Structure 1
Amino acid sequence: MSTEAHQAPPPSADELRQRVRDLLATHDPATTERVEFLRARFDAGLAWVHFPVGLGGLGLPRVSQEVVDAELAAAGAPDNNPRRIGIGLGMAAPTILRYGTSEQQARFLRPLWTGEEVWCQLFSEPGAGSDLAALGTRAVRDGDDWVVTGQKVWTSMAHEARWAILVARTDPDVPKHQGITYFVLDMTAPGVQVRPLRQLTGEAEFNEVFLDGVRVPDSQRLGAVGEGWRVAQTTLMNERVSIGGMAEPREAGIIGLAARTWREHPELRTPGLHERLLRLWVDAEAARLTKEWLRQRLAAGQPGPEGSAAKFAFARLNQQISGFELDLLGEQALRYPDWTMRRPTQVDMLGGSPGFRYLRAKGNSIEGGTSEILRNIIAERVLGLPTEPRIDKDVPWKDLPK
Structure 2
Amino acid sequence: MDLTYTDEQKAFRDEVRAFLDEKLPKRLSDKVAGGKHLVKEDYEEWHAILNEKGWLGVTWPEEFGGTGWDAVQRHIFEEETTRASAPRIVPFGVNMLGPVLMKFGSKEQQDHYLPRILSGDDWWCQGYSEPGAGSDLASVKTSAERDGDHYIVNGQKTWTTLGQYANKIFCLVRTSKEGKPQEGISFLLIDMDTPGVEVRPIVLIDGEAEVNEVWFENVKVPVENLVGEENKGWTYAKYLLTHERTNIAGVGFANAALQNLKRIAGLEKSGGKALIENPFFAAKMAQVEIDLMAMATTNLRTIAAAAAGNAPGAESSMLKIKGTVIRQEINALTRQAVGPFAMPFVSEALDEGANVEPVGPDYALPATQSYFNNRKLSIYGGSNEVQRQIISKAILEL
State if a TM-score over 0.5 links the two structures: yes
Question: What is the alpha-carbon distance in structure 1 between the residues aligned to residue 81 and residue 295 of structure 2?
Answer: 28
1:106 paired with 2:119, answer: no
- What is the match of residue 377 of structure 1? 390
- What is the match of residue 32 of structure 2? none
Is the Cα–Cα contact under 8 Å of residues 248 and 324 in structure 2 kept in the other structure? no
Equivalent of 2:325 in 311, 316, 324: 316
Is the Cα–Cα contact under 8 Å of residues 154 and 219 in structure 2 kept in the other structure? yes
Question: What is the alpha-carbon distance in structure 2 between the residues aligned to residue 368 and residue 72 of structure 1?
Answer: 23
Is the Cα–Cα contact under 8 Å of residues 268 and 328 in structure 1 kept in the other structure? no
Is the Cα–Cα contact under 8 Å of residues 155 and 208 in structure 1 kept in the other structure? yes
- What is the match of residue 315 of structure 2? 306
Give unpaired runs (5+ residues) of structure 2: 1-6, 25-44, 353-362
Aligned residue type for 1:133? A
Residue 92 of structure 1: SS of its match in structure 2? helix
Equivalent of 1:204 in 175, 200, 209: 209
Residue 253 of structure 1: SS of its match in structure 2? helix
Q: State the 1:203 CA deviation.
A: 0.9
Q: State the 1:232 CA deviation.
A: 0.6
Equivalent of 2:252 in 248, 252, 276: 248
Equivalent of 1:291 in 282, 299, 307: 299
Q: Using the TM superposition, name which of 294-303 and 317-326 deviates more.
A: 294-303
Is the Cα–Cα contact under 8 Å of residues 191 and 211 in structure 1 kept in the other structure? yes
- TM-score normalised per structure 2: 0.77
Equivalent of 1:277 in 281, 285, 293: 285
Q: Using the TM superposition, name which of 58-67 and 179-188 deviates more.
A: 58-67
Higher helix share: 2
Question: What is the alpha-carbon distance in structure 1 between the residues aligned to residue 121 and residue 364 of structure 2?
Answer: 24
Equivalent of 2:234 in 210, 229, 240: 229
Is the Cα–Cα contact under 8 Å of residues 79 and 251 in structure 2 kept in the other structure? no
The alpha-carbon distance between structure 1 residues 132 and 275, as it changes in their structure 2 partners (threshold 3 A), is same
Aligned residue type for 1:54? E
Q: State the 1:175 CA deviation.
A: 1.7
Q: Using the TM superposition, name which of 55-64 and 365-374 deviates more.
A: 55-64
- TM-score normalised per structure 1: 0.76
Question: What is the alpha-carbon distance in structure 1 between the residues aligned to residue 8 and residue 198 of structure 2?
Answer: 48
Q: State the 1:334 CA deviation.
A: 2.1
1:219 paired with 2:224, answer: yes
The alpha-carbon distance between structure 1 residues 92 and 327, as it changes in their structure 2 partners (threshold 3 A), is same
The alpha-carbon distance between structure 1 residues 13 and 218, as it changes in their structure 2 partners (threshold 3 A), is farther
The alpha-carbon distance between structure 1 residues 257 and 165, as it changes in their structure 2 partners (threshold 3 A), is same
Q: Within 5 Å, which residues of 2 pair with 1:64-103?
A: 64=73, 82-83=88-89, 85-103=90-108
- What is the match of residue 161 of structure 2? 156
Q: State the 1:171 CA deviation.
A: 0.8
- What is the match of residue 263 of structure 2? 260
- What is the match of residue 8 of structure 1? none
Residue 177 of structure 2: SS of its match in structure 1? coil
Question: What is the alpha-carbon distance in structure 2 between the residues aligned to residue 273 and residue 104 of structure 1?
Answer: 53
Residue 159 of structure 1: SS of its match in structure 2? helix
- What is the match of residue 354 of structure 1? 367
The alpha-carbon distance between structure 1 residues 149 and 305, as it changes in their structure 2 partners (threshold 3 A), is same
The alpha-carbon distance between structure 1 residues 193 and 50, as it changes in their structure 2 partners (threshold 3 A), is closer
Equivalent of 1:185 in 180, 184, 190: 190
Is the Cα–Cα contact under 8 Å of residues 59 and 95 in structure 2 kept in the other structure? no
- What is the match of residue 4 of structure 1? none
1:85-133 CA deviation, whole Å, 9 max, x = no partner?
2222221111111111122112112221343422111011112112110
Residue 252 of structure 1: SS of its match in structure 2? helix
Is the Cα–Cα contact under 8 Å of residues 119 and 163 in structure 1 kept in the other structure? yes
Equivalent of 1:364 in 359, 377, 388: 377
- What is the match of residue 40 of structure 2? none
The alpha-carbon distance between structure 1 residues 314 and 182, as it changes in their structure 2 partners (threshold 3 A), is same
Question: What is the alpha-carbon distance in structure 1 between the residues aligned to residue 100 and residue 298 of structure 2?
Answer: 25
Question: What is the alpha-carbon distance in structure 2 between the residues aligned to residue 157 and residue 50 of structure 1?
Answer: 21
- What is the match of residue 399 of structure 1? none
1:253-294 CA deviation, whole Å, 9 max, x = no partner?
322221111223353422211111111111122222222222
Residue 296 of structure 1: SS of its match in structure 2? helix
Is the Cα–Cα contact under 8 Å of residues 196 and 208 in structure 1 kept in the other structure? yes
Aligned residue type for 1:164? I
Is the Cα–Cα contact under 8 Å of residues 123 and 166 in structure 1 kept in the other structure? yes
